[in-house]
Amino acid sequence: MDSVKLQRTYLDLTTPHVADACMRIGIAVRCAPANTRPVWSNTHLVGRVSPVKHFGSVDVFLEAIDRASPGDVLVVDNGGRLDEACVGDLITLETSRAGLSGIVIWGLHRDTDELRTIRLPFFSLGALPVGPQRVDAVTDDALSSAAVGAHTVTAEDFVLGDDDGVLFIPLDQAEAVAELATTIRDTERQQAARMQLGTSFRKQARFDDYLAARKADPSVTFRQYLRSIGGAIEE
């Protein structure tokens, strides 16, 4: 799926919808650490991963941007460090001007006010005024993979981020995940609309029937029951 189709397909899908779809399909749910947050609220980010490891100098970022394609997302591995900010306004502006869709950092940023002005979707572990005070040796895999928490991502993955967090999904599963996530989203919206009009979720889910089924067979879970009737609230 190319970057334009990826943007259009995932424009109205949230990370919860997509996480539920991954679980139902059997794809590992790879989330950035829970404290990976957007610089401003109501952020939505999607794009192919352009991975890069940080070693203390910005030149590796410039090389990654030079190699990336429009629509990609710069995913920066700074080892989750909390003693330095590795990306600020200039690299963010360079990323934006190159046509990339955003930045995700396993680490910290700085120049928060400037980032809000640039308005490129941006996720990190938080802000810190001080930049790197080191220059380490660059490894051979600096531009081929990036660790984000417990997960390693490559250009074979894409990233989806919003106010609930950041997910990484295999690119070759993008269409299947989106199709199911759309079904889950639409089902939940219909359920919510009925609730607003006075039909409780218990009634929609025929909760009394579930309790009876569980009494007859204690191994029956609510998740299994919901799937059997087309519910989508729990995965």
> Binding site membership: which residues?
88-91, 110-111
Q: Is the dihedral of CA 65, 31, 29, 150 positive or negative?
A: positive
Secondary structure class of 193 (helix, strand, coil): helix
The annotated binding site for substrate is made up of 88-91, 110
**159: β partners:** 47, 168
CB 49, CB 40: distance < 8 Å: no
**104: β partners:** 75, 123
Residue with tokens 């359920």: 191
Helix count and strand count (H, E) for the chain: 9, 12
Q: Per 3-state DSSP, what percentage of the chain is helix, strand, and coil (rounded to 5)?
A: 40, 20, 40
Enclosing H/E stretch for 73:
strand 73-77
How far apart are alpha carbons 211 and 175 in whole angstroms? Answer: 36
The annotated binding site for Mg(2+) is made up of 111
How far apart are alpha carbons 92 and 20 in whole angstroms? Answer: 31
List helix spans (H) across the chain.
Answer: 3-10, 15-25, 59-67, 89-97, 112-118, 174-196, 201-204, 207-216, 222-229
